[in-house]
Amino acid sequence: MHIPDGYLGPVTSIAGYAVMIPLWIIASRQVKKNLAAKQVPLLAIGAAFSFVIMMFNIPVPGGTTGHAVGAVLVAILLGPWAATIAVSVALVIQALLFGDGGITAIGANCFNMAFILPFTGYAVYRLISSRSHVKSFRRVAAAGIAGYIGLVIASLVAGIEFGLQPLLHHTTSGQALYCPYGLKVAITSMVAGHALVFGWVELIVTALVVKFLQVQDPALLEQQIGVGE
Amino acid sequence: MKTTTKLWIGLGVLAILSPIGLYVPALCKAGSAWGEWTPDEVHGLVGFIPKGLEKLGALWKAPLINYTLKGWENHGATHMGIAYIISAIIGIGLCIGLAFVVGKILSKKDKNHG
């Protein structure tokens, strides 16, 4: 889901930054209000976890690859705004140092994976887990389903961004200047891969870590209720 | 053992296991992620390279592009795997460093002092 340089035209690239800059400012304010100094290591672990989990490319045999993002997990532990910060850190380093995602697309990629993904997932998690005991199976299920839905919705948004390009930018003869695939193909391809394969990996990873924390340190799953409201 | 200590160890384990994310797709002959093709791959798919894609695609030369080290690209699977682990360690280190800087600036000070 890391859109490279050259796939988005200037309109979408600039829109990505234009939307993300205020969101980064709000995220900073929210985190400033809610993040305790002792939670900073967890923020760092969240950013690093998101970075490394994205290196685990999963194949659709004979086809393409994809990966989990870990954003919903960070949102569950530290709140969705902190997840925006943590995943953005990972995405910026991936773009600048490893060429994974374009630098012109940092805004759009952060919007998809560091905003849409954790916020959608967090909303689902809160909805399903509401009033459940911190050690209940419902929490684990909520985390997994939240990861799955978050990733699929983020892939849908990325698919729309890809698919808009032939409409926005083409030569006079109609040849695409950036992403050559239109909405139908882009959305179908992005959503299919994430709904059929990669979303399940996000589901398993998110649920497993929440299960581990239920056993290991359930307090971590309780402290952030209320953040971002 | 503190939970954060276990999580730090977990990150180390993930870094060492990261070449799974390199080898498994290769074994399955899976191509690039959708929408992350090289310009040549795009040409193979649609028969032309979109002009803007060709121009913007060459905009940024990332130092560790595709999680490989310079000059290691054609040295076989073992080198690729080691470079992938080194990339994971560098990336994790930078994420931790940057997140700590951001976190320190943003986090609430100890209540006793504030």
Q: What is the pTM of this model?
A: 0.94
Q: Is residue A140 part of a domain?
A: yes
pLDDT higher than 70, residue A25: yes
- Give residues 41 to 70 of B whose Cβ lies within 8 Å of A: 42, 45-46, 48, 50-67
Domain presence at residue A168 = yes
Res A224: pLDDT: 54
Whether residue A3 is contained in a domain is answered as no
How many CA atoms within 13 Å lie on the side-chain side of A58?
16
Q: How far is B93 from chain A (nearest CA, A)?
A: 8
- Establish if B33 touches chain A: CB-CB under 8 angstroms: yes
Residue pLDDT, tens place only, A128-165: 999 899 999 999 999 999 999 999 999 999 999 999 99
Residue with tokens 């690859």: A65
Look-up of token digits 């994420």: B95
Q: How many CB atoms lie within 10 A of CB A3?
A: 27
Q: Which 34-53 residues of chain A touch chain B by CB within 8 A?
A: 34-37, 39-53
* Chain A to chain B Cβ contacts (< 8 Å): 235
The verdict on residue A143 lying in a domain is yes
| Structural domain includes residue A4 | no
3 state DSSP class of B95? helix
The Cα of B102 is separated from the nearest Cα of chain A by a number of Å equal to 9
DSSP letter at A58 equals E
Tens-digit pLDDT profile for residues A6-16: 999 999 999 99
Indicate the number of domains in chain A: 1
Q: Using an 8 Å Cβ cutoff, are A139 and A149 in contact?
A: no
Task: Look at residue A5 and tell me if it is in a domain.
Answer: no
Q: Residue A84's domain spans which residues?
A: 10-221
- Predicted local confidence at residue B75, as pLDDT: 82
Q: Is B94 on the interface with A (CB under 8 A)?
A: yes
Query: What does the pLDDT read at residue A62?
Result: 66
pLDDT value for B106: 87
* Per-residue pLDDT at A227 exceeds 80: no
Ordered per-residue pLDDT tens for chain B, 114 residues: 889 999 999 999 999 999 999 999 999 988 889 999 999 999 999 999 999 999 999 999 999 999 999 888 788 889 999 999 999 999 999 999 999 999 988 886 654 443
Q: What is the CATH number of the domain that holds A199?
A: 1.10.1760.20
Q: What is the pLDDT of residue A84?
A: 98
**pLDDT > 60? residue A219:** yes
Q: SS in 3 state form for A69-111? A: CCHHHHHHHHCHHHHHHHHHHHHHHHHHHHCCCCCCCHHHHHH
List the single residue in A28, A64, A175 with the smallest CB-CB distance to B32. A64
Q: Is A2 a member of any domain?
A: no
Which residues from A are below 8 Å from B31, CB to CB? 63-65
Amino acid at position A213, single letter: L
Q: In this predicted structure, what is the pLDDT of residue B82?
A: 95
Taking contacts as CB-CB distances below 8 angstroms, the residues of chain B near A62 are: 28-30
Residue A74 falls within a domain, yes or no?
A: yes
pLDDT in tens, A79-115: 999 999 999 999 999 999 999 999 999 999 999 999 9
Q: Which comes out higher in pLDDT, residue A73 or A38?
A: A73
